[in-house]
Amino acid sequence: MTEQRHGRRIMMTPEERDAFLTGQRTCRVATVSADGRPHATPLWFAWDGAALWLYSVTRSRRWAELAADPRIAAVVDSGEEYGELRGVELTGEVERVGEVPRTGLPNPALELPERLFAAKYGFGPAMVHDRRHAWLRLAPRTLTSWDFSRLGGRFER
């Protein structure tokens, strides 16, 4: 993974970043169509400390675009006022993990993300498999974080 080069004064520590990604519920995922049109959509996710796990509908524009070109950007952010803004941007290429669509066949690679996802979104101890979704794993090539509260009320423009 490429180390963050800009905004180091406001970047989160790895522990802060992991806690932030674990606690947030929605990311925005950006893909690009074959003719170059950008496409951004909100999506639930799980963070395992090393990868962002996306549980996507397999008959979606997002899925089709990522099947043709696995490059992706995802943003998770929060805050209303300037000094409250926090977030993480992750970029890289996704890989499919497990069967498409997911039916719930045993898969050791999916045990942790499914446990995290089910607990985070109130499914209980186990995932619900609707045979419409499948897993995408983003092990970020770049990961950029920001926390504007680090400026201590001094807002630079």
Please provide the DSSP assignment of 114-147 as one string: HHHHHHHTT--SS----SSEEEEEE--SEEEEEE
- Is residue 59 predicted with pLDDT exceeding 90? yes
Q: What is the mean pLDDT of the chain?
A: 93
* pLDDT: which is higher, 5 or 110: 110
- Percent of the chain exceeding pLDDT 90 equals 83
* pLDDT: which is higher, 78 or 124: 78
For the chain, which domains are there?
14-151 (2.30.110.10)
Residue 154, Ramachandran bin (φ over 0: left; ψ between -120 and 50: alpha; else beta): beta
What is the DSSP pairing of strand 38-47 with strand 26-32? antiparallel
Q: How far is CA 115 from CA 10, 27, 98, 99, 121, in A?
A: 32, 19, 15, 17, 10
**pLDDT tens across 92-133, in order?**
999 999 999 999 999 999 999 999 999 999 998 889 899 999
Q: Name the residue type at position 57.
A: V
pLDDT score at 145:
96
**Half-sphere exposure for 83 (CA within 13 Å, toward CB):** 7
140's tokens: 């970020």
Tell me the sheet residues that pair with 55: 135
Rounded distance, CA 49 to CA 33, Å?
Answer: 29
Q: Which residues have a Cβ under 8 Å from the Cβ of 154 and sit 6 or more positions away?
A: none
81's tokens: 């006022």
Tell me, rounded to whole angstroms, the distance of Cα 81 from its chain centroid. Answer: 23
Give me the phi and psi of 14, to 5 degrees please. -55, -40
The model carries a pTM of: 0.91
